[in-house]
Amino acid sequence: MIRDKGLHQTENTSHSREPPHTGTLCGIWAVGLGLLIAASAQASSSESQKTAWTTKSQRREWHTLSRDDKLDYINAEKCLMSKPAKLGLPAARTIFDEFQMSHVLNTKVVHGVGAFLPFHRLFIHAHEALLQAECNYTGGQPYWNESLDAGNFSSSIILDPEVGFGGNGTGPLNCIVDGPFKDYVNPIGPGQTFSDHCIDRIISDCASEMAGRQSIDQCMRMQNFSAFGPCLEGMPHVAGHGGIGGQMLNVFSSPGDPIFYLHHAYLDKLWWDWQSQNLTSRLTDIAGPNVPAPFWFPPERNATSSPPPFCNSNWTLPPVGTPNRTILGFPVGWPLPIPATLDKAELLGSDGDPGNETTLGHVLTMYGVVPNRTIAEVMDIRCGLLCYEYI
Ligand SMILES: *[C@@H]1O[C@H](CO)[C@@H](O)[C@H](O)[C@H]1NC(C)=O
Ligand SMILES: *[C@@H]1O[C@H](CO)[C@@H](O)[C@H](O)[C@H]1NC(C)=O
Ligand SMILES: *[C@@H]1O[C@H](CO)[C@@H](O)[C@H](O)[C@H]1NC(C)=O
Ligand SMILES: *[C@@H]1O[C@H](CO)[C@@H](O)[C@H](O)[C@H]1NC(C)=O
Ligand SMILES: *[C@@H]1O[C@H](CO)[C@@H](O)[C@H](O)[C@H]1NC(C)=O
Ligand SMILES: *[C@@H]1O[C@H](CO)[C@@H](O)[C@H](O)[C@H]1NC(C)=O
Ligand SMILES: *[C@@H]1O[C@H](CO)[C@@H](O)[C@H](O)[C@H]1NC(C)=O
Ligand SMILES: *[C@@H]1O[C@H](CO)[C@@H](O)[C@H](O)[C@H]1NC(C)=O
Ligand SMILES: *[C@@H]1O[C@H](CO)[C@@H](O)[C@H](O)[C@H]1NC(C)=O
Ligand SMILES: *[C@@H]1O[C@H](CO)[C@@H](O)[C@H](O)[C@H]1NC(C)=O
Ligand SMILES: *[C@@H]1O[C@H](CO)[C@@H](O)[C@H](O)[C@H]1NC(C)=O
Ligand SMILES: [Cu+2]
């Protein structure tokens, strides 16, 4: 286990600083989920103790960062891509890969469900914390305000070949061929499969139109989480994944493209902005099914799907009641009625949440990347468990 370096927390508790990236696992996927999970359980017994933070991470918008700030972030991400994996998760060679694998293993219980935003909030927090703990990164996790580039992702400065993430994919495999990440060999994906491949993209300016003001405003007007959650997941979320395309458009393996983290930090900001409109009610407002609709995860979802070659300047959520609601293959809206509880494997991650509907007690399972947390622990970003602000 990593020693507490005291970078951002005073050591007033017996547990190690966030995140204890445990590295205690015996390893091989073949030993089975049970053992794997049991091993990672060692890390978290005293986790619920109060933590005193000394530093609040400041999360800034990518367009506003200085050249040096951008390079610091890029170099820290490259550092995660160079550090050997510690958790024994299948296929992962580096810490960067462990994030991606933890997402693959979680996919079916964290998309199209109430835990979608809470899980991704914790996931981005873990990424920020490990950049800081493993790679001496001193900034906060940047986010990408995609509405600034809606309809025109291909011209975004975020794709800069030097101080950005590189551009569109080319060639038969749609590999990115410029930028700091062009040589990264990613061993996970597409989907739930494992094979060495490049970071691939198929940028769609049409799909990125859905990142525009219209869809954001639609969601921000929602009066409760049961309307806001699926709206955000359905439109702004899919816009970022579909606009970048390639691996980013794969609901399982999308964290293999480092842009993922700026995309989800942005969604997290949108959630926090929405919560901030009425903290009294929205710090505890959670809803949604515990289990997604079955048709969202067909086997063919392993493949990286090419975005369909159409432009639609009029993206809207398919109305409630439309069967099998998806946009570009991503879950849209929540199933009605909420599906009955499936088998235990499908419910991994919903410990503390025996019903069909997601509650604050719901456990978010992190596979050792950071300790498991409940949804209640991630509802507030103001220096409880989480400690950051959006600038
Ligand atoms: C995390 O949650 C999963 C599923 O609820 C559980 O099986 C596992 O033991 C937990 N791990 C830790 C480290 O608590
Ligand atoms: C982080 O800083 C420590 C202390 O200065 C140093 O030993 C370590 O090598 C640095 N790690 C990285 C990845 O730069
Ligand atoms: C994105 O930028 C637009 C234009 O500056 C601004 O109105 C909007 O609030 C920003 N979105 C977020 C989530 O910060
Ligand atoms: C996209 O952005 C580029 C660079 O800022 C600009 O030249 C171009 O006109 C934009 N295209 C559209 C359709 O907005
Ligand atoms: C998708 O991946 C899973 C897990 O690796 C595998 O069981 C399944 O056969 C794959 N499906 C396809 C169509 O490749
Ligand atoms: C990105 O490249 C793919 C081919 O790899 C192409 O189909 C697509 O139109 C390109 N996107 C843009 C916005 O030029
Ligand atoms: C949530 O708000 C939407 C509109 O924003 C409304 O249609 C719906 O009835 C509300 N649901 C609950 C459970 O309050
Ligand atoms: C916040 O939400 C509560 C509960 O829905 C409501 O009673 C209150 O009026 C809201 N406050 C504001 C400022 O909208
Ligand atoms: C919805 O998905 C189910 C399960 O995959 C499938 O059997 C059904 O035909 C789909 N319905 C529509 C209208 O696409
Ligand atoms: C936009 O889509 C909605 C719903 O699909 C439809 O009613 C409306 O006519 C469309 N508007 C345009 C300008 O295509
Ligand atoms: C979950 O929903 C199913 C029907 O969809 C119902 O039969 C079951 O009783 C529900 N379980 C709980 C705990 O509410
Ligand atoms: Cu995800």
List the chain domain ranges: 7-390
Contact 366, 372 (CB under 8 A): yes
Contact 230, 332 (CB under 8 A): yes
- Cα-to-centroid distance, 117 and ligand 3 (Å): 19
% of the chain beyond a pLDDT of 70 = 79
Question: Which residue has tokens 């007033």?
Answer: 12
* pLDDT tens track for 292-311: 877 777 776 777 655 555 56
Name the pLDDT band for 331 (thresholds 50, 70, 90).
confident
What angle do the packed helices 236-244 and 213-220 form, to 10 degrees?
150
Nearest ligand 8 atom, CA 278: 1
CA 6, 8, 12 angle in degrees (round to 5)? 55
Which residue is closest in CA terms to ligand 4's atom 6? 155
- Cα-to-centroid distance, 223 and ligand 7 (Å): 6
* pLDDT tens track for 347-356: 555 677 877 8
Gyration radius from the chain CA atoms: 19
CATH of region 7-390: 1.10.1280.10
Q: For residue 6, what pLDDT is reported?
A: 30
Ligand lying nearest the CA atom of residue 317: 10
- Cα-to-centroid distance, 193 and ligand 5 (Å): 6
Q: For residue 188, what pLDDT is reported?
A: 97
Which residue is closest in CA terms to ligand 5's atom 10? 299
Q: Which amino acid is at 144?
A: W
Name the pLDDT band for 31 (thresholds 50, 70, 90).
very low
Ligand lying nearest the CA atom of residue 176: 6
Decide whether any atom of ligand 10 lies within 6 Å of the 64 Cβ.
no
Decide whether any atom of ligand 6 lies within 6 Å of the 154 Cβ.
yes
| pTM of this prediction exceeds 0.95 | no
Nearest ligand 4 atom, CA 155: 2
Q: Is 182 exposed, middle or buried (0-12, 13-18, 19+ CB in 10 A)?
A: middle
For ligand 5, residues with CB inside 6 Å are 191-193, 299-300, 302
